[in-house]
Structure 1
Amino acid sequence: MAPSSYQAPKRGDKAGKTTYSQSVESNLSHTQSTVEKLLEGKGDAVFAVRPNDTIADVVGILKEKRIGAVVVTDQNGVLQGILSERDIVRRMAETPGQTLPQSVEDLMTSDVQTCAPDYLLMDILKTMTEGRFRHMPVLKDGNLCGMITIGDVVNFRLQELEYEALKLKQMIVG
């Protein structure tokens, strides 16, 4: 039996008082994250080498900086290619003991997939996954302004999910 002060809701009680706790925009906010937002937290450091540098030079940079790829630029800083650990390992398998003295331009990938700061991270993740590569230079007005990795994108998304989960918990708890 309901308390005497209780009145069952009647039709029309909440007429005109529609609330929206969720929207497509709020539920899909992660799809709106851009490369620029990721770079704000990561920074814009890019390690570059020249086409005539040796693989030994590149290996030293990769080890010292603890990175997986370098971009290849000309003397004006214009992107010429990219060279990754994977490229070096493949060449080592093809030319054992003869890889380190070879030049960067002999191993680099010249047809580089790039992105711009306004690209959506979900699109970048799809492109990297389908292309089976892990590093992507970021160009703004034709100039190199950063480098992102598939790990950067995944970690950024995980942080967003953790934040969203925290906000939901706060909303539920009050």
Structure 2
Amino acid sequence: MAPTSYQAPMRGDKADKKTVSQSTESNLASTTSTVAKLLEQKGDAVHAVRPQDTVHHAVTVLRDKRIGALLVTDQNGDMQGILSERDIVRKLAETPGQTLPQQVDGLMTREVTTCAPADALETILRKMTDGKFRHMPVLDDGKLCGMITIGDVVNFRLNELEYESLRMKQMIVG
């Protein structure tokens, strides 16, 4: 039985008049995913420590926030470096039992690869993979505006692929 909203074609109907809720163009339209789009969903929260803070303090923040890296900023919020779990583990191996009282300044990575909000996520994913790092600060005109992780990028991209797959199925089914 046809739905009650169905109207059978009538004499005089124009054959070329057709309405659709989707089009090939809308289903196949693709946009480049950017860091800005990811940050819209994730938010722009950045966790940071100062260079003179102890590693013990940094480890506590990492544990409490359940994150893998902290930005190191000065009193003005300008980025000085990044401190990751890997930096801490390397120092633990070099100075066993003496690492926690040391200052963050002695462990942090000073040369930090950053990205901008307009950067394409595929490019960022490639940089992270090639550079073998998992955290990337986001700078907008030199000012810190967020931090993304390789997990954020992969998850965002998986959600996009799932959505694209759904759109393709809808286009095929009609």
TM-score (norm 1): 0.83
Q: Distance in 2 between matches of 1:94 and 1:169?
A: 55
Partner of 1:157: 157
Partner of 1:133: 133
Partner of 2:5: none
Partner of 1:58: 58
Q: Distance in 1 between matches of 2:129 and 2:44?
A: 23
RMSD (Å) for aligned C-alpha atoms: 1.6
Partner of 1:146: 146
Q: Distance in 2 between matches of 1:150 and 1:46?
A: 15
CA contact (8 A) 2:24 2:171 kept: no
Asked if 1:103 is matched to 2:103, the reply is yes
Displacement of 1:141:
1.2
**Paired letter, 2:42:** K
Q: Distance in 1 between matches of 2:25 and 2:88?
A: 49
Displacement of 1:94:
1.0
Q: How many residue pairs get matched?
A: 151
Q: Distance in 1 between matches of 2:123 and 2:25?
A: 24
Partner of 2:120: 120
Displacement of 1:105:
0.5
Partner of 2:3: none
Partner of 2:83: 83
SS in 2 for 1:159: helix
Displacement of 1:57:
0.4
SS in 2 for 1:36: helix
| Runs of 5+ unmatched residues, structure 1 | 1-19
Q: Deviations over 1:89-114 (max 9, x none)?
A: 11111111111001001000001101
Q: Deviations over 1:102-149 (max 9, x none)?
A: 100100000110111000101101111111000000001111100000
Displacement of 1:22:
6.5
Provide the identity percentage.
70
Q: Distance in 2 between matches of 1:169 and 1:66?
A: 38
Q: Distance in 2 between matches of 1:159 and 1:58?
A: 32
